[in-house]
């Protein structure tokens, strides 16, 4: 990978190995750099395993993913995107970066939903930023691509899920989450998207809520290893919300309480 394909944001070093053409990597970097900068400001403490270079590769046949086994020297993310598909890039990259901020050694349904929330948050964030802060690049004129992709996801939910049953049941969210939790399996991404849209307003109103992400992985049962150099990974974990409330700092407890009242209590 050419040196010119490595870029540094405020907190992250991102290495672009998606395409051989430098201009393709540079076009996609337009959104990725802004996401990396903003999330580092929302979560100034950084991820549990610290800041490491992020290597981006083409995962054309696998959909987006964070590669396991993890590496001590870097994080590796695969994206299934085109070089100017900014909406899809925002959704996929943010999702995987949120996994890093939660703790990439563990995955559970709650982490997955939070990653979906992050994707929607940044689709809205970039849409507003590009519309309200014009840039000399022609790409910025296409701020509607973010909302268009978000609407595409929501249309998929309408097509494949009977949303009426949710609309007539005020407690559908908690019932659906309990069902997911009791089945002890990672669920349907469409349902995750629907739940994420219900949670999204909380993270918009209380932006300090993003600082809870580095504690989410640690509140899993079983938890990730205490030794941060131990990169043992586990998909067979469940969230423990009592533990989450206990381990977050005092200033984050009001947000966690609001979130739990929304999805769990």
- 150 pLDDT band, cuts 50/70/90, is very high
pLDDT of residue 6: 92
Decide which of 167 and 231 is more confident.
231
What per-residue confidence (pLDDT) applies to 163? Answer: 57
User: Confidence class of residue 169 from pLDDT cuts 50, 70 and 90?
Assistant: low
Q: What is the pLDDT of residues 91-108, one digit of tens each?
A: 999 999 999 999 999 999
CA torsion 200-204-210-212 (nearest 10°) is -70
Q: How many C-beta atoms lie closer than 10 Å to residue 60's C-beta?
A: 11
* Percent of the chain scoring above 90 in pLDDT: 74
CA distance 166 to 190: 14
Does pLDDT of 194 surpass 50? Answer: yes
CB 19 within 8 A of CB 83: yes
Dump pLDDT digits (tens) for 18-42.
998 999 999 999 999 999 999 999 9
- CB neighbour burial string for 163-177, b if at least 16 within 10 angstroms, e if fewer: eeebeeeeebbeebb
Q: Which of 118, 101, 35 is closest to 66 using CA atoms?
A: 101
Q: How large is the average pLDDT for residues 65-93?
A: 94
How would you classify residue 133: left for phi > 0, otherwise alpha for psi between -120 and 50, otherwise beta?
A: beta
Task: For residue 265, give both structure tokens.
Answer: 């209590």
Mean pLDDT in the chain? 91
Distance from C-alpha of 144 to C-alpha of 54, rounded to nearest angstrom = 28
pLDDT band at 4 (very low <50, low <70, confident <90, very high): very low
Question: What percent of the chain stands above pLDDT 70?
Answer: 93
Say if residue 164's pLDDT is above 70: no
Over residues 64-70, the mean pLDDT reads 95
- The pTM assigned to this predicted structure is 0.93
pLDDT-based confidence at residue 137 (cuts at 50, 70, 90): confident
Which pLDDT score is estimated for 70?
98
pLDDT of residue 3: 41
């Amino acid at each position: 990978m050419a040196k010119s394909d490595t870029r540094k944001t405020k907190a992250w070093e991102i290495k672009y190995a998606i395409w051989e053409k430098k201009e393709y990597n540079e076009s996609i970097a337009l959104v990725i750099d802004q996401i990396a900068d903003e999330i580092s400001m929302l979560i100034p403490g950084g991820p549990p395993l610290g800041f490491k270079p992020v290597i981006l590769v083409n995962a054309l046949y696998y959909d987006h993913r964070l590669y396991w086994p993890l590496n001590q020297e870097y994080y590796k993310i695969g994206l299934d995107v085109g070089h100017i598909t900014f909406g899809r890039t925002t959704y996929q990259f943010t999702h995987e970066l949120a996994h890093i901020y939660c703790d990439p050694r563990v995955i559970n349904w709650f982490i997955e939903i939070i990653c979906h929330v992050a994707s929607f948050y940044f689709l809205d964030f970039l849409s507003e930023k590009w519309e309200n802060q014009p840039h000399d690049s022609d790409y910025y004129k296409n701020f509607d691509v973010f909302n268009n992709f978000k609407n595409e996801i929501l249309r998929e939910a309408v097509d494949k899920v009977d949303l009426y049953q949710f609309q007539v049941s005020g407690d559908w969210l908690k019932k659906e989450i309990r069902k997911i939790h009791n089945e002890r399996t990672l669920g349907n991404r469409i349902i995750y998207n629907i739940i994420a849209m219900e949670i999204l307003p909380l993270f918009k109103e209380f932006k300090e809520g993003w600082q809870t992400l580095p504690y989410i992985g640690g509140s899993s049962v079983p938890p990730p290893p205490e030794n941060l150099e131990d990169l043992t990974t586990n998909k067979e974990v469940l969230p423990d919300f009592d533990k989450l409330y206990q381990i977050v700092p005092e200033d984050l407890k009001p947000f966690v309480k609001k979130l739990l009242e929304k999805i769990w209590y």
